[in-house]
Chain A
Amino acid sequence: MISVKRIASDLKVFSRGYLRNKFGLFFGLVFPVMLILIFGAIFSGDSSGKINLYIQNQDTGPFSNPQMDIATQFVNTLNNSGTVFLVSVNASENFSDYLADNSASDGVLIPHGFSEAYLSGQQVNVTVYGNPTASTSGIISGTVSGVITFFNLKYFNPNASPIIGITPTTVNTEQTQYVDFLIPGLIGFSILISPMFSLVNISSEYKKTKLFKQLSLTPLTKMEWLASKVIWYIALSTLSFLLMVAVGIFAFGAHITLNIWLIPFLILGPMLFASLGMLVGTITKNPETAGIIGNIVTFPMMFLSGTFFPISTMPQYLQDIAHIMPLFYIIEGLNNVMVYANFDGALIDLVVVGVITAVIFLAAIKLFKWRED
């Protein structure tokens, strides 16, 4: 008979031991938050996706009134385009050398007499520096062309306004950022890592040091023992989930839908990977082998399940492999709930995860031996 009292007392001892061990706490809570800070900073840093563009304005006048300073208006329009972050370079510098000294490839040079030429209708060129191998250069030349076209139009009709415009949007009702896609992946990652590595380690170490034998001499059953570990990792994963979501929202302004659909994923995920870790620790002979097998199982899952990169960017055969990874369905489910609000899709993921979890949990219990024949 399963005893709640025994599970509770084992949970108390295990969680206290876990909290007393700084290392476990680091991997359980600090590490996931660090990941989200690092990836969030890399992919959605403070330039908000803008490209650095060096600009040198050699047309310093003098101008009889500010309306005559077309060069400055040109710079301001470029600055308002929203795609570039302008870095102004003093007119006395040699622009080409300056770019090289700053390891920069993208730059725009406005020549002396630019305003005068524009106002008198004489042809004048701005020089655009770029590196054809960098994806940024295409964006720069497109942006500058757009501004030039606008000024050409203005020359012929100063009151003209564009006829065709653009309404930018994404698939969600709210504006979606990279960090919004990143958070479900990293949550999936933390659901995988902490219970999996921990249980691989514990189950093989306890076997080696005969702690399981010791526990088998008490009324505690192996089902109760595993249950208390699963409960602990559900609690830990939920806490790390909340921390990651909070960091995502407050540090990166992520848009995340939180609702009741997340709960089954946060329960089944840790249960699945705690059981899988237990299974690996159980079927291997010693902690060293367990560690190796644990890594063989974990690493492909870590990278191929859509944790850091969406799997749609991968070749087809890797996408096929991703579909046999249990973590894939957890991350897809989290994405369906948190980003797309697609609950029909989430339900399918949930069923798949539920079946895999049940099979692995029962296999771990069945194969796990307290005592030897």
Chain B
Amino acid sequence: MSINPIEISSLKKYYDNIKAVDEITFSVKPGEIFGLLGPNGAGKTTTIEIMEGLRKRGAGDVKVIGLDPWKDGHKLHKKIGVIPQDFTFFEKITPREAIIYYANLFDVKANPDQILKDVLLEDSANVFFENLSGGQKQKTGLALALVNSPELLFLDEPTTGLDPNARRAIWKVIKGLKAKGKTIILTTHYLDEAQQLSDRVAIMDHGKIVAMGTVDKIIEEHGSKERLEIVGSKELANYITENTDLAVNYHQGIISVNLKQKIDALAALAAAEQSSFNWGEIHTRRDSLDDVFIKLVSGKVDESGEIIVENNNSNN
């Protein structure tokens, strides 16, 4: 029986009167990609840095691959791989040299060519870090995180600030790592990234976990039920309300009928057909992760799926 790489219970971290992390509990299973999702200042980075041994916890229990990250930091760091937020490195070093440097520090034999291939960076192996693009820099960070062949990886906002193509390239690398059986803790404030990559996500807000599980489960628990949407007039909406016992909403030319069960759609459509009003396109819809997120968190989501914070008063 393998133990969980991450076991956290009742973790707290306060800075003066700011509750950066406020009593959170979760565990991560081997081989899982676990996404920590939340707006800036939600406490994601504090949580991940406590797990990495970069910050001291306030209270609670933290075990990372069976170790206390703060006390056994030196031991832990030999076994995990990390990309800190805003990863940066020496300006005048190439990715290949950086990998060799890390291999010497970790006293391990590493194959730079294989690692560069794993992170899709073979083409820029000999370019100085300062001349790499944002995406290539992140890939260098990923490459360094892999030098000591860790089973557990922490990726703190690995795609923040990258263009969509670069983000997709990083996703490809992360999926490749999962396929090799690595356990990955990922923080992000991109919803599509969490949805694309994570087996499970925890949504954080103001230091607390407000929802946790698979994306589908979170939507099911916190989103609205399935509904039928009909393009039609206000009069048709009223007709359906009067002639069925279904809950009907009308907003800007769309009639929305809540479905307690799928068969309810038939009743709504029959009523529409009976009426003499015209109606257009129909489809069923349920809340997306975006919709759920907005309900749960004090943030908004912009067109590109990035979370925008309304008030940011907690320490990240």
User: A219 near B88 (CB under 8 angstroms)?
Assistant: no
User: B89 near A214 (CB under 8 angstroms)?
Assistant: yes
User: B84 near A6 (CB under 8 angstroms)?
Assistant: no
Residue of A3, A210, A372 near B55 (CB, 8 A) is A372
The answer to the question of B54 belonging to the interface, with a C-beta cut-off of 8 Å to chain A, is yes
A204 CB → nearest B CB, Å: 14
One of A16-24, A93-101, A144-152, A186-194 contacting the partner: A16-24
How many A-B residue contacts, CB cutoff 8 Å?
71
Instruction: Give bound CA distance, A330 to B73, whole Å.
Output: 40
User: A210 near B106 (CB under 8 angstroms)?
Assistant: no
A110 CB → nearest B CB, Å: 68
Report A214-244 CB contacts with B as 1/0, cut-off 8 Å. 1011111000000000000000000000000
The answer to the question of B52 belonging to the interface, with a C-beta cut-off of 8 Å to chain A, is yes
User: B84 near A214 (CB under 8 angstroms)?
Assistant: yes
The interface centre, meaning the residue of B53, B87, B88, B105 with most chain A CB atoms within 10 A of its CB, is: B105
A residues in contact with B84, CB < 8 Å: 210, 213-214, 217
A214 CB → nearest B CB, Å: 6
User: B55 near A10 (CB under 8 angstroms)?
Assistant: no
The interface centre, meaning the residue of A5, A8, A13, A17 with most chain B CB atoms within 10 A of its CB, is: A13
A308 CB → nearest B CB, Å: 33
B93 CB → nearest A CB, Å: 6
A274 CB → nearest B CB, Å: 18
B residues in contact with A17, CB < 8 Å: 90-93
Residue on A with the closest CB to B141? A214
User: A371 near B105 (CB under 8 angstroms)?
Assistant: no
Overall SS of chain B's interface: loop
The answer to the question of A123 belonging to the interface, with a C-beta cut-off of 8 Å to chain B, is no
User: B102 near A218 (CB under 8 angstroms)?
Assistant: yes
A residues in contact with B29, CB < 8 Å: none
A residues in contact with B77, CB < 8 Å: 216-219
Interface residues of B in 43-83 (CB under 8 A from A): 52-56, 73-74, 77-78, 80, 82
A residues in contact with B82, CB < 8 Å: 217
A146 CB → nearest B CB, Å: 63
Residue of B74, B89, B105 near A6 (CB, 8 A) is B105
Please name 17 further chain A to chain B contacts, defined as beta carbons within 8 Å, in addition to the given A214-B84, A214-B87, sorted by A numbering.
A5-B104, A6-B104, A6-B105, A9-B101, A13-B93, A13-B101, A16-B93, A16-B97, A17-B91, A21-B91, A21-B92, A209-B88, A214-B89, A217-B84, A218-B102, A218-B106, A371-B55
Give residues in A with beta carbon < 8 Å to B.
3, 5-6, 8-10, 12-13, 16-17, 20-21, 209-211, 213-214, 216-220, 371-373
What are 27 A-to-B residue pairs whose CB atoms are below 8 Å?
A5-B104, A5-B107, A6-B105, A6-B107, A9-B101, A9-B105, A10-B101, A20-B92, A209-B86, A210-B84, A210-B86, A211-B89, A211-B90, A213-B54, A214-B84, A214-B87, A216-B54, A216-B73, A218-B77, A218-B106, A219-B74, A219-B77, A219-B107, A220-B105, A371-B53, A371-B73, A372-B55
